[in-house]
Structure 1
């Protein structure tokens, strides 16, 4: 039986932690969805059960136990049908890995850019340091340069647990 995948979480370029939550809808009969996280070199793998007769919501997760395993902060989450149909659907979702962006990553908060803001000024206000790199990295999907931000733009400010 083929699995039909509608992945609702994570969305492309979501900022994720060491536990990546996965949710969506699937149709199958006792299907298994394999979960792989890779940066192109190293990877972690897991699986979750999905489906029933008809459309069913599912949720699962994959834990990344060693956050230093990856060299890059942009990872690829691959979800694939493992129900025996080698041509079954698979989905690849790029995500941004918070623990590689900010030590002790524990989530993020939105920040709306105001007139006169720079990434350096925002970093100073948020972290007490002029190191804007975590903010730039957490928003690499919308920022092409650390010198180009504009009023009204909503940025993700990574926060840590420490």
Structure 2
């Protein structure tokens, strides 16, 4: 069994701290983590399993408040450093969407199921009192919305909410 990130799922909307959970095994029970956008990163290590091939559960809470992420999209990585040459092996990468870059004071999201007659401007007005904030909804839903002029009844949209 390879290392596995069970939380967050790909393209989940996450906040700060970034919560990471899964199952893993590493040389001498040590794994590394990295949360980054390609411009800034937070890294560290943690212990998991017994160090002699056992897999164990892990749950991390990574404070990224000092990071200057420029993008909405972050990558969460868990990997082992090779004892032979220090290279990154058994790496797992999960792309996520960073809510605090979309709305100030991000606290979570509401789910909105698109109804007949909905537009992104109408949904933004209903949730933010500002139809121009439809782009916040687009940014939070990259796998659901490919064209902001085309949403469909039944689609579940995450509406990021700030404090």
TM-score normalized by the length of structure 1:
0.89
Q: Is the 8 A contact 2:81 2:88 kept in 1?
A: no
Cα distance in 1 for partners of 2:59, 2:81 equals: 16
Q: Secondary structure at the match of 1:4?
A: coil
Cα distance in 2 for partners of 1:47, 1:28 equals: 11
Q: Is the 8 A contact 1:4 1:28 kept in 2?
A: no
Give ranges in structure 1 of 5+ residues lacking alignment: none
Match of 2:78 in 1: 79
For 1:76-110, what per-residue CA distance to the aligned partner results, in whole angstroms no more than 9, with x for missing partners?
A: 11211137353630111111000001111101121
Structure having the larger proportion of residues in strand: 1
What is the correspondence of 1:57-96 to structure 2 with a 5 Å cutoff? 57-66=57-66, 69-82=68-81, 84=83, 86=87, 88-96=89-97
Q: Secondary structure at the match of 1:51?
A: coil
TM-score normalized by the length of structure 2:
0.88
Q: Secondary structure at the match of 1:114?
A: coil
Q: Report the RMSD for the aligned CA atoms in angstroms.
A: 1.9
Judge which range, 53-62 or 33-42, deviates more. 53-62
Judge which range, 106-115 or 32-41, deviates more. 32-41
Q: Is the 8 A contact 1:33 1:47 kept in 2?
A: yes
Give ranges in structure 2 of 5+ residues lacking alignment: none
